[in-house]
């Protein structure tokens, strides 16, 4: 069983996915940590799937997990686009690692930031990267309108849902196996799925550690102003969904 499963949701990411895989592999090799990389293609219409399959065929050492550990690659595809939340949920259902990480294919947060999470593995159920806490570094900023949209969104989440976190939307999060049952009850398939996971975690009394990361604006934000009403509806549904029970998973 690998120590980490890294899930990379990908929708039309032919320009970024190979670099995301190679950089993730390099980081875990340097750290000496065993890792499976799970690329979940979310119904891409470009060459994303072909690139991942070519990597599997051209790099036999990445296609199987040896007894001595290492890093290997797995590929899962959705026949149609279902949303980032759905892609991450699919990846989690296949993950075998003790810790499950998800990050964006554009590497807005580089996988090397995993080093900052390692000291918290023994004391936290969930670790989330943040652009808004002390020590964070925004190396390349978003356009101003997206910056303020994100700030307003986070203020609304903190006020309406009572979540204490400074940044719910940074695409870099780690979940222990104890926290994975949250995904069973995940209903949000789109952009706000992170919020639902953290809201469920709060309901279950799971411990969440927010850590500073280096972040640079990439292609991850396909969210447009026109999507705001849909996102607000998702937040309303998260707040008003019937309570659910989740059994622990070892």
Total count of domains within the chain: 1
Q: Is 248 within the bounds of a domain? A: no
| pLDDT tens, residue by residue, 55-64 | 998 877 776 5
Q: Is 63 within the bounds of a domain? A: yes
Q: Is 35 within the bounds of a domain? A: yes
pTM for this prediction: 0.88
Domain that residue 201 falls in? 4-240
195: tokens are 């919020």
Which segments in the chain show pLDDT lower than 70?
Answer: 63-69, 142-150, 218-228, 243-250
**d(C-alpha 197, C-alpha 128), whole Å:** 11
Q: Is 246 within the bounds of a domain? A: no
Q: Is 250 within the bounds of a domain? A: no
At 226, give phi and psi (nearest 5°).
-65, -15
SS3 content of the chain, % helix, strand, coil (to 5): 40, 20, 35
| Paired residues of 101 in beta bridges | 6, 174
CATH number of the domain enclosing 154: 3.90.550.10
């Amino acid at each position: 069983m690998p120590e980490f499963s890294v899930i990379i949701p990908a929708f039309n990411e032919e320009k970024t996915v190979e670099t995301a895989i190679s950089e993730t592999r390099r980081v875990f090799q340097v750290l000496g940590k065993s890792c499976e990389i799970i690329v979940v293609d979310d119904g891409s219409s470009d060459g994303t799937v072909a690139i991942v399959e070519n990597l599997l065929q051209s790099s036999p050492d990445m296609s199987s997990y040896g007894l001595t550990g290492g890093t290997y690659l797995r590929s899962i595809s959705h026949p149609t686009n279902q949303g980032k939340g759905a892609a991450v949920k699919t990846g989690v259902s296949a993950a075998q690692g003790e810790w499950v990480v998800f990050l964006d294919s554009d590497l807005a947060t580089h996988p090397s930031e995993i080093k900052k999470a390692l000291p918290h593995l023994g004391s936290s159920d969930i670790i989330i990267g943040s652009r808004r806490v002390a020590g964070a570094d925004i190396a390349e900023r978003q356009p101003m309108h997206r910056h303020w949209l994100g700030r307003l969104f986070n203020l609304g989440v903190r006020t309406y849902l009572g979540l204490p976190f400074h940044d719910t939307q940074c695409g870099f999060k780690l979940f222990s196996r104890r926290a994975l049952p949250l995904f069973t009850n995940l209903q949000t398939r789109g952009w706000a799925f992170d919020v639902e996971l953290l809201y469920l975690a709060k309901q279950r009394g799971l411990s969440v550690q927010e850590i500073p990361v280096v972040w640079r604006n990439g292609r991850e934000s396909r969210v447009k102003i026109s999507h705001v009403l849909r996102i607000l509806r998702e937040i309303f549904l998260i707040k008003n969904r019937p309570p659910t029970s989740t059994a622990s998973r070892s």
